[in-house]
Amino acid sequence: MSNNNSDKLFESFTVGGLALKNRTVMAPMTRTFSPNYIPNSDVAKYYRRRAAGNVGLIITEGTFISHKAANGYERVPAIFGEEALAGWKHVVDEVHAAGGKIVPQIWHVGSVRKEGIGPDKSVPAYSPSGLYKPGTPNGVEMSQVDIDEVVASFAQAALDAKNVGFDGVEVHGAHGYLVDQFFWEGTNQRVDGYGGSLENRTRFGVEIVQAIRAAVGNDFPIIFRFSQWKQQDYHAKLCQNPEELALFLSLLSEAGVDIFHASTRRFWLPEFEGSTLNLAGWTKKLTQKPVITVGSVGLDSDFTGEGNTDLGGASNPTGIEGLLTRLNNDEFDLVAIGRALLVDPEWVNKIRDKKEDQIAPFNKDALMKLS
């Protein structure tokens, strides 16, 4: 990395009402450290450490909205109710005190949900067609009333986030959760206006963004995370070519998205044949909107994959040269760091100060010490 220019990574960046001191982002990573779904003082300390470590923007773990079937995991935080919102206000205050900016990721897990989870343990999963993946049913198909309720819940979560002091909001439209289940033809077999064509399948996400924009106004940034791959199928694709991707993104962009967060498992892989651009690069080219890239930044191997994957390897800046080249070529604007930053809150500073050899390794032992 020492032969590459990392200056741009540490340039300020502004979009709408969001002014960042550098281009680094803490990627959202699910944690189960919120008893009774309430973020506590330990959660606040966890995020403050990353803010103090000079991260430009923190995106929180997934926070579930108020719809009865939104949650799929125990001890993940809610983003509704007096106690949870008070907990998040404390988190926000701590991050701001350390000089950071923070947005919540708001989500609904859809058919990933299992009964027995969440505040109301008897509620089944809700999804576009009652499918977990093609050929695998789970839960119930959503009615128009259900759809309207979920859209309203997303908008309320974003407004509550604004009211407790967050700097924006990210909608989780990726990885095979509810919004993505509408996008993905494999889980969306509806025959109404939310199913069939790519445009129809994007409608649910568009309505969520429009409702959020109406609730929060024009100066509160909306980030939208999307992916081709799904946890149900790593090889799935929403869009088979740039033309389909252009249509998909244009609908969301026009609805009010300010920043796209293009989730890939490996940032260096090209998205379509005939071009070296990754998904983030294509997204910026097609929309001209600010884009976050993500996918094994600062890691020397993949820690999640098909089947049983060994959690070996170490966190280091392997591959950062290629990342910086792409950033300097304006292929994307912001860089999200996940597991490398999870285990070393000072990762950003160590990269800036050319102290890569001091970066804490990410390995099995590190997993036992995450805080």
Nearest to 64 by CA among 202, 207, 200, 160: 160
Q: What one-character-per-residue DSSP string does 21-70 give? A: SSSEEEPP------GGG---HHHHHHHHHHHHTT-SEEEEEEEE-SSTT-
DSSP characters over 103-169: EEEEE--GGG--TT-SSSTT---EESSSEEETTEE-SEE--HHHHHHHHHHHHHHHHHHHHTT-S-E
Q: Which residue has the tokens 């252009």?
A: 246
Q: Which two tokens stand for residue 319?
A: 């591959």
CA–CA distance, 111 with 138 (Å, rounded to integer): 6
37, 46, 73, 177: which is the annotated catalytic residue? 177
Whether residue 234 lies in the annotated active site: no
- Report the distance separating Cα 239 and Cα 183, nearest Å: 10
Determine whether 332 is exposed, middle or buried from the number of CB atoms within 10 Å of its CB (0-12, 13-18, 19+).
Answer: buried
Task: Output the six-digit token pair for 340.
Answer: 């490398």
Q: What is the CA radius of gyration of the chain?
A: 19
User: Catalytic residues, which ones?
Assistant: 177
